[in-house]
Structure formats: structure tokens, C-alpha cells
A and B are shown apart, each in its own frame.
Chain A
Amino acid sequence: MQKFDQLIQEAQARIAASGSLVALDEVRVHYLGKKGVLTEQLKALGALPASERPAAGQQTNQAKHAVTAMLDARRRELEAQTLSAQLTAATVDVTLPGRGQEPGGLHPVTQILERVQALFASLGFGVEEGPEIEDEFHNFDALNFKPGHPARAEMDTFYLKDWPLLLRTHTSPVQVRALLKHGAPLRIIAPGRTFRHDYDVTHTPMFHQVEGLLVDKEVSMAHLRGVLTDFLQRFFERDDLRLRFRPSYFPFVEPGAEVDINCIFCDGAGCRVCKHSGWLEVLGCGLVHPNVLDACRVDPRRYSGWAFGVGIERLGMLRYGISDIRMNFENDLRFLRQFR
């Protein structure tokens, strides 16, 4: 008995002292290996008299179990320590910036165009596109601009040198092309580049427009107001936005109107942006002139329609505060990166 107690005590001390799995294994071999102390003891049992054998066997086995259990416990302990050390050693600085490319960004004009397209798509307006170099017919004649009329001169048109063609002054010619192609009823928007011979703080010779057109039976100014109210409230994400319709003149609509919204910078109280009027001009619109429907082979007695045209850079000015329209096309990366 004493012999075993001493052995277990001694084993316990050696196990506790082993600082690594290798050292622990040496202890295991010492006690339980092929020639281990306890293995030898078990082998020696056969040499004992039969009467002593059961008791001695039981004691030896008890000692073996005790040592095994201590070895296992210590092994788990050492394994946990090793793992913990490995984990600690693998520490990364999570605050270090990641590796690789940084994403770029879309131009603000594109972002607005995509937004406008998405809003109108939800009302069933598809996108139509047309050429940027246009002819007089689509840009003026079919849109009821009489030759020589001041309205035509006011468009400040760019003409090509050796061709009887011009740069479209609005995206309205797309109306004409779409109506000629698809006929009525029709609902489309036409986004794109437009050109006018004008260059100062508030004008660039190129800018973007979205033209909207709806032709159907019994279309009224009230519907136009309904859709534009919806559009502008959704675009600016302000359901309290109010619209003001003012009579105006565009040859291709009659009646024609200019649309103002209550100033989103001062809520209508008056500020520098709205020139203290409380209103901001955003777009022009009206009922499609019967002459235009005629030119597009749509019967004005059966169909009516409305159209509007909105300047994208104008929306950008109001939405993002881009106060100088020229910034849009200088492409200063420090400016463009703000829209990421």
C-alpha cells in the first residue's frame, strides 16, 4: 500500500513539473510505457502467490488509473496553454487598413439620372434615347418652332460646319422619334446630353436633361401636376414639398408652364438661393401642342399628352448643393470623390 501511495505522489509531482507535451510524454513512458514502472508491476503480478494476486492486482490497477487520469488532465491543460499561445502569437492589428484597390465612384449627374429613371420606371415610364447630333426637323420643326421665330434664336444652337445638322438643344427631339416609332399611347422619359451656345457662371455649353412624355386619351394638366408632384416629392424625399405652376411658353406645348417648388433651403421663408422669393424654378412642362402630335402622326383629336423637361445639373444644384454648374464638367477628382 505504502509503496503505491508513494508512487502516486511521486508521479503527481513529476506530472505537474512537466512543462511541455514532450516532457509529459516522457513521464507517461516512465510509468506506463512498455517498460514503465507500473507496467512492470503488472507483469510481476504473475509471480505472486495466488492468494496475494487479487489484492495486489487491484492496487496496481488503481495506481495505473490514477496516473493515467493525472496525465490526461495535465495533457489537456498543456494543450490549452499551447493553443492559447498559438492564438496570441497570431494576433493581427485589426485597425490596419485592408489590402487592394479602393473603389471609385459615379459622377453626380449619373447618380441623379439613375435616380430619376428609377422613379419614373415605377410609374411605367421606359427610357428612350436619341442622337445628340440632330436635324432641324426633330429639334425644331416637328416641335412647332417656326423658322425664324425668336424662340428658335433663343435656343443658342450649335451648328455643324459642313453638314445641315445641329447639336440638339434639348432632349425633346426624342419625343418626336419615340412617337414616330411607337405611336400612341406612350409614356417615356428621355435622358441625355444637350447643347447650347452659352458659357458663364450659370451656363455650360453642354448639360443634361430628362424629358418626360405621356400620350394617351384624355390627359390633363391636373395629371401632369399629379405626376410632377409625386416625382419631385420622391426625388427630394419630402412629402411636404409644394409645387407652383406658372404660365410660360415653349413652342411644343400649349398650355405651357414653369414649375417652382417651395425653397428647400429656407422652407419658403426667403434666402439667397431662391433670391428671397421662397420659390425655386425646377422645370418646364405643358400639354403637347397639337401641331407636335400632328407632326408625329398622332391624331390630336383622339389623343392628348403632356411633356416636361428637367435639367439634371439644376437638380444636382438643389440636391447636392453644387452651386457652380461648371464644376460638373471640370472633373476635378477632389470634387467628384465627394459623391462616393
Chain B
Amino acid sequence: MRISEQWLREFVDPPASTRDLAERLTSAGIEVTAISEGLPALDHVLVGEVRNVEPHPQADRLRVCTVFVGKGKSLQIVCGAANVNTGMRVAVILPGGHLPDGSEIHTTQLRGVKSQGMLCSARELGLGDDDAGLLALPAEAKVGHLLIRELGGADKVLEIEITPNRGDCLSALGVARELAALYGQKLRLPDCSPVKPGIKDRLTARIEALAACPVFAGRIIRGLRADAVTPMWLRERLRRAGLRSLHPVVDVTQYVMLELGQPLHAYDLKRLSGGIQVRMARSGESLKLLDGNKHTLEPDILVIADHKHVLGVAGIMGGSDSSVQPGTADIYLEAAFFSPDAISGRQRKLGLQTEAAYRFERGVDPTGQTRALERATRLLQEIAGGQAGPITKVAATPRVRARLRLRQAKLVQSLGMLIPGKAVSGILAGLGFMPSRHGHNWQVSAPAHRFDIEREEDLVEEVGRIFGYDKIPAIPYPAGQRMLPLPEERLPVSRLRDTLVARGYQEVITYSFVDAQLQVRLTGSPGIALANPISAEMNAMRQSLWPGLIQTLRYNLNRQQQRVRIFECGMRFIQQHTEIKQENVIAGLIFGLQDPLQWGLPQRNNDFADLRGDVEALLGAGGHTKRVDAVADTHPALHPSQAAKLMLGGMNIGWLGALHPAVARELDLNGPVFMFELSLEPLRQKRITEAAPITAFPALSRDLALVVEETIPAGRILDLTREAGHPLVSEVRIFDIYRGKGIDSGRKSVALSLILQDSSRTLTDEAADATMRKVVQRLQDELGATIRD
């Protein structure tokens, strides 16, 4: 909200600078986010009087004006505005002066006639967007004075951010009330005393929805002058608040809303048939609003109607048919209290955003309708004359608000500081809470406009914020009595992250929502859709971290990166029947050279085994390496011959493999991409070690080279060897795989290194050989292996 400082000071004028006002407001929770100049730079603009207007001898559209600028001085100025008239008060810039945009005015020749300055439009002066003609100044404007003086002198505009609970501050009055409480000053209200009705006309109003509209008030005003114009000072107030001047009646309603916080609406009386009805819209009802669009209404929208038509959407926007027009002489002026529940959310639904709805949503003073009508009537009569009818008001029985208790003990306990009782009383009184003190307690009644005050805690905040939050001391809170639990059977995620970092991975964080189409390609289904996505690229919850990692890869490849190793930890979201499983996973992706370019290692692209090594390192953090099996299987994202699921005791805990080449091609990725994704929880489970004694007896080592069919998985060979070698074989490693010369095609040679160990005695060669024979026998029997010498 933008509000003029001059306006505020009409209500309350503390001896403080603008900056001081702003700081006090901010420290009381009414945040002033910016202070700007109320007026453009008008240092060189004078008030002049047009004394004579002659046609230009050379140009039909130009006039030659004689303009009196005071002190006996008259100037000849050529002017193209159509509205220039003898006797008119105008804004003049003399030669040597400047427009607000900085351009200098010179004496010139215009089509052969000397012009000694410039007459200005509102737009040229930065005082509005009207550039149809010269800015017409009021007849009282003093010729020869600086225009700035006529506009009330320098002013500042405060930009204020009001939190959603403080609807009462959305007006000059509201902010002034805060200032009065903060500076301990009295508030001066504008004249809102009743206007004596000059006519008896009235319009009946009937409220069908009393809960949605607890108060509805209005009056007829007849005989407004058609030629009335909004005075300069009022236009300026609107402009400084960021509103445009439209029509004297509308300007007055806007003005009173900015001043008192009560939105008003004016109808063209001759467009109304019969009395007013306040009711919920009927299904299918529609109407054209002031935004120029036709809106279809739903039954949760409150409307104002007459006996024939819907006139407008209550509290949000009026209809265009019943609105005041240029020349409207008779009006019906409405001031209502619509409950926030009946308004909130509706403007969004209708695609509208209005000042009135903004205020009704946050709540207006339920007792302020008559005051606003009287104030508006006075202003209208000043500007456009007319006779007012009596105010008619329909209202529900007002809600009785309980008196609240505030205890000194509660204040001390909540704020952690003692505020002297006298100060508390003063603050409560200053805010209009009418406190009565009983020892260390107060009984208070919140004023009508403070509908946000409901309980003692609210009063604590009120007293605290006016006294000053910044006076609250900082008291250390003791550390916990017990140390935090540190479950050793659950690895911290940082161990897994660090494992990957040590292996050259950079952590990334990608969005939790991804492109559903990409997700279909990578997971086989689009995933859970968002109702209101930011964009089509972020329209579904990720079922895997792979879409994000692949997009990150593409982003970086497009930025000259050739070697990418990235990982992410986060949630994926998978629909399981009628539930959504939200599961933490860790996923990684590698692309390009396995090692950074260097002198001591051959350059080679990474492959499945590199990825598998990284996955094993992750499994190893919790000691799972040997208990997890990789099983060849297919996955929509993965190369059908380079994909494995990881099984831990019958449970699938993740996948690894190469990105499917067809997908890679679609995504313009030229080169294999290897990826893994593992459920985090199983990885984090760790067994607490029970240490066994280290045997004193030496171990023996044996090598074994066997030739098997290409299709025999290495995992099978390792498993069988361990099984057959039990209990002596304590370790088996594959140290070579060979295909080619000397080996039949379709077969491969696998070289094993075994460590044999007997923990209870020195292992003899004979015993070791016996075990090796058992191993060989098993491999021959079950895998058809032949032994190479």
C-alpha cells in the first residue's frame, strides 16, 4: 500500500522526520519498505493565467497565448492544446526551466512565431497520464506561485507492507492510528458528521445472506452537477496512492476507501429497478463487470442485485451496466461489511484483483459503514453539489466480543522482560483497548476495527510490539539435559555422500517435479501430476532422480563440460495403489572419461564396471557389499543388455546400468551414460560389529583359471566357489578375464585367486588341495567349466 505522508499528518502529526516515522512503524510490525518522493521534480513550474488566445497565423492547430505569470510579467507562448482558454489557470515553464524528465525549455520560434516557454499537460508534469490537454489548475491557484506550493508542497510517499492479519491498517486512518499509539498522540478525524438529508428518497435493501453480509448501508444522492471535475488535491492523493482519477463520483469512493479503509460503490440510480438484494449468485447467472468481461457466477459468490438483474459481485467489482457514467446525476451509494469468508478466494476464482476485495478479504471495520457514507457524501456535495437522501442500513445483530484479560505474569513469561504496569496501561489505552487495571491484571475490550484480537496472546503481542520487540533481551537457553541419541545401526547420509564425493562425484540438487513426458520414457509412466505446475517441464512429481540428473547432464554438456560425474540425494514419489510412497533415494550418473585427463593413466571412457564399483563403495559403507546381488534385468530407462537390479535378501533396493541408447539419441546424448539409483534406507542400515580374534595361523593362496561358456555370470562362479570351498576359502577374487587366442569362441577364461585359511590350526597343503579339488569338481559339474593349466 502507498500512502502520502501529508495525508497521514492530517490525522496525526508527531514531531518526527519521515525516516523516523518509517522506522517506528517498521519496528511495530507495519513494515515501510520504501520511501519515495510524492511529487515529480517541479522546481521550475509556475502557475500562470491565460489572458489572451489568438489563432496562429501559419498553423491551424496552434494558438498564440498571452500568459500572465505574476509580478507584472506576461509571456507569449505558442500552444497546441485544444482546451486552452482565456482565464484558465495553467502550469508554465519559463525559458531556462526544466520538465521533470530533465529536458530544458527554451525560447523558440514555432512556425515563425516566438514562444517564450511551455504550457504543460498533466502527463508532461508527471502528475498523471492525461495528455489530452493542458492541466487545468483550480481558479484559486495563485498566479506567479510555484506549482509545488499549490500542490501542498513537498511530500513523501510511504510504501507499506501490511501482514494479512492487519486489514485494519489498509488506510490512512489505520496507519495513523498506529502512529498515534506509537507517539502517544491524539488522532484527528476528518468531518464525518451526518449530512442533513435534502430529499426523502430511499431504496429498500434486503439481505438474504446475513452471514456473508452482516451490514449493508446506502443512500440516494440526486442532482450531481454534470460538469463537476475532481479537484486537483484529491486527484493528487489518489495518484500518490497509485490510483487513477476516473470520474468524480468514483474518485470520491476511492478516496474514502484509501482514507477510512471502507470500500464504497456507486450505482447509476436510473439503472436500478426496485430495491437491492444481497444474495448468493444463482448457478449459471452471469454479468459484465467493470473490467469489460462477462463473468459466469457460481453459487458461492455473493452478489448485489435489484429486482431484475445482478448488479455486481459483492465486495469485488461492480457491473458495467449499473455503473456511473459521465453526466450521471443521481446515484445510489453503497457501504457494506462483507465477511472475509464470503470474499476470500473469490477474486482469484474470477481472475480479478481489486482494492475493495483486498480489504474485504482481510476484514474491514464492521462499524465503519455510516461514517464512510457521510464522509463521501460531504466530499461529493463539495465537488458536485446534489441532495442526499437518508441513509438506510440493514444489519445482523452485531457479534458481542468478550472482554479479554491480560496478566502481567503472562507478559513477563512470554516476552521474557518486565514492562512497567503504567506503560502497559498506556499502550493499551493508546491502541483504543479501553483497559481497566486490577492489580497485576488488565481487562480490555478490543475496538471494532481490531477483529484480529481474540485472546491473551494477541494482547501480549500488541503490548510487546508497541513497547518495542527490540527491547526483548537475549537469554541463553540451557542445552538439553541428555545428549542426542546416536543410533549406530543407522549410517548418517553424509557417509554415503562423502563416499561418492571421494570417488569424484559432484552433488547436485534438481527439482522434485519433472517433465511427465521424459518421465514416461525413463520410468514407463508419467508420475503424479501437479494441478498447477509452473510449466510443462515441471508438471509431474519425479518417480526417479534420473530425469533430473539427465537434464543436468545435458545442461552441462551444452556448456562445454565433457566429463560429468554427479549424484543427488532426495525423495522420489511413486503411486502405490491408493497411496503415495515418498522414498529417499541416492542416484548417480557418470559420462565421459573415467578419470580426469592425466599423464599416468590410459584415457578411457567409463563403463558398467566403473559404475558398479561406485555402487559397491556405497553398499560397503554399511557393510552390505557381499549381501547384495546384481541380477540382469530390464528397465525402461536402461540398455537391455547393460542393466541390473540390486537385490538385498529378496528386496529390490535399486538399479544400475547404461541409459538406453534410443533414449540417449532422443536426448542428443552422444556417448554412453551410466546411472544408478538406490533406496537410501537399506543402505543406511549397518550392523554393529562383533569383533572376532585374528587367527595366528598362516593362510595359503591358490590360483585357479577356468574356461566357461560366455553366458555363465561371474557372480555364479564366485558363489559356487565360496560355497564349495566352505569353510576354508575365506576370500575369492577374479583377477583376470580373457577371451581370444587359445580359448574357443563363445567361451571365456576366468582367473580366480583364493585365500584359504583354517582358524584353528596351520593349514596343510594337503588340506588346501583337497578343498581346491572340491571347488574344481563343483565348477565342472555345475558350470561345465574346464580347468586351464
The smallest C-beta distance from B580 to any residue of chain A, in angstroms, reads 6
Provide the residues of chain B in CB contact with A336, threshold 8 Å: 506-508
Interface contact A103-B163, CB-CB below 8 Å: no
Interface contact A153-B464, CB-CB below 8 Å: no
The smallest C-beta distance from B548 to any residue of chain A, in angstroms, reads 9
Q: Identify A257's interface contact among B469, B507, B532, CB under 8 A.
A: B469
Looking at B460, B485, B532, the one whose CB has the most chain A CB atoms below 10 A away is: B532
Provide the residues of chain A in CB contact with B164, threshold 8 Å: 149-151, 154, 249
Q: Identify B534's interface contact among A151, A187, A197, CB under 8 A.
A: A197
Least CB separation from B560: chain A residue: A334
| Interface stretch of the complex, out of A17-25, A27-35, A46-54, A222-230 | A222-230
Q: Total number of A-B contacts with CB less than 8 angstroms? A: 243
The smallest C-beta distance from A182 to any residue of chain B, in angstroms, reads 12
Residue-by-residue, is B148-188 near A (CB-CB < 8 Å gives 1, otherwise 0)? 00000000000000011110000000000000000000000
Residue-by-residue, is B448-484 near A (CB-CB < 8 Å gives 1, otherwise 0)? 0000000101101100110001101111110111111
A97–B565 CA distance with the chains assembled, in angstroms: 21
Provide the residues of chain A in CB contact with B533, threshold 8 Å: 158
Interface contact A148-B482, CB-CB below 8 Å: no
B641 within 8 A of A: no
Interface contact A329-B509, CB-CB below 8 Å: yes
Known: A245-B470, A331-B566, A333-B561. A105 touches B556 (CB 8 A): no
Interface contact B534-A220, CB-CB below 8 Å: no
Interface contact B475-A103, CB-CB below 8 Å: no
Least CB separation from B494: chain A residue: A114
Known: A133-B541, A333-B561. A124 touches B506 (CB 8 A): no
Least CB separation from A156: chain B residue: B532
Chain A: interface size category: 35 or more
Looking at A131, A195, A221, A245, the one whose CB has the most chain B CB atoms below 10 A away is: A221
Interface contact A132-B362, CB-CB below 8 Å: no
The smallest C-beta distance from B251 to any residue of chain A, in angstroms, reads 27
Q: Which A234-264 residues sit within 8 Å CB-CB of chain B?
A: 243-249, 251, 254-258
B361 within 8 A of A: yes
The smallest C-beta distance from A112 to any residue of chain B, in angstroms, reads 12
The smallest C-beta distance from B531 to any residue of chain A, in angstroms, reads 4
A210–B400 CA distance with the chains assembled, in angstroms: 41
Q: Which A95-148 residues sit within 8 Å CB-CB of chain B?
A: 96-107, 109-110, 114, 121-126, 131-133, 148
B600 within 8 A of A: yes
A81–B529 CA distance with the chains assembled, in angstroms: 79
Looking at B479, B497, B534, the one whose CB has the most chain A CB atoms below 10 A away is: B534
A290 within 8 A of B: yes
A257–B165 CA distance with the chains assembled, in angstroms: 13
Interface contact A162-B601, CB-CB below 8 Å: no
Interface contact A329-B580, CB-CB below 8 Å: no
A244–B164 CA distance with the chains assembled, in angstroms: 22
Provide the residues of chain A in CB contact with B28, threshold 8 Å: 247
Interface contact B559-A332, CB-CB below 8 Å: yes
Q: Identify A160's interface contact among B340, B362, B461, B529, CB under 8 A.
A: B529
A174 within 8 A of B: no
Interface contact A197-B532, CB-CB below 8 Å: yes
Interface contact B512-A106, CB-CB below 8 Å: no
A258–B582 CA distance with the chains assembled, in angstroms: 32
Interface contact A109-B509, CB-CB below 8 Å: yes
Interface contact B472-A221, CB-CB below 8 Å: yes
B6 within 8 A of A: no
Known: A230-B476, A249-B29. A254 touches B470 (CB 8 A): no
A259–B745 CA distance with the chains assembled, in angstroms: 74
Q: Identify B470's interface contact among A149, A167, A244, CB under 8 A.
A: A244
Least CB separation from B535: chain A residue: A199
The smallest C-beta distance from B750 to any residue of chain A, in angstroms, reads 27
Provide the residues of chain B in CB contact with A131, threshold 8 Å: 571, 582
The smallest C-beta distance from B428 to any residue of chain A, in angstroms, reads 15
Provide the residues of chain A in CB contact with B361, threshold 8 Å: 150
Q: Identify B507's interface contact among A100, A104, A332, CB under 8 A.
A: A104
User: Other than the known A101-B503, A255-B461, what 4 A-B pairs have Cβ atoms closer than 8 Å?
Assistant: A101-B596, A133-B580, A197-B534, A331-B552
Can you give 15 contacting A-B residue pairs, CB < 8 Å? A100-B595, A101-B596, A123-B477, A131-B571, A149-B164, A162-B529, A193-B512, A193-B570, A220-B415, A223-B475, A246-B26, A247-B461, A248-B29, A255-B469, A333-B564
The 10 closest A-B pairs by CB, nearest first: A124-B480, A222-B416, A247-B29, A220-B416, A249-B163, A255-B461, A247-B465, A99-B600, A161-B529, A245-B469
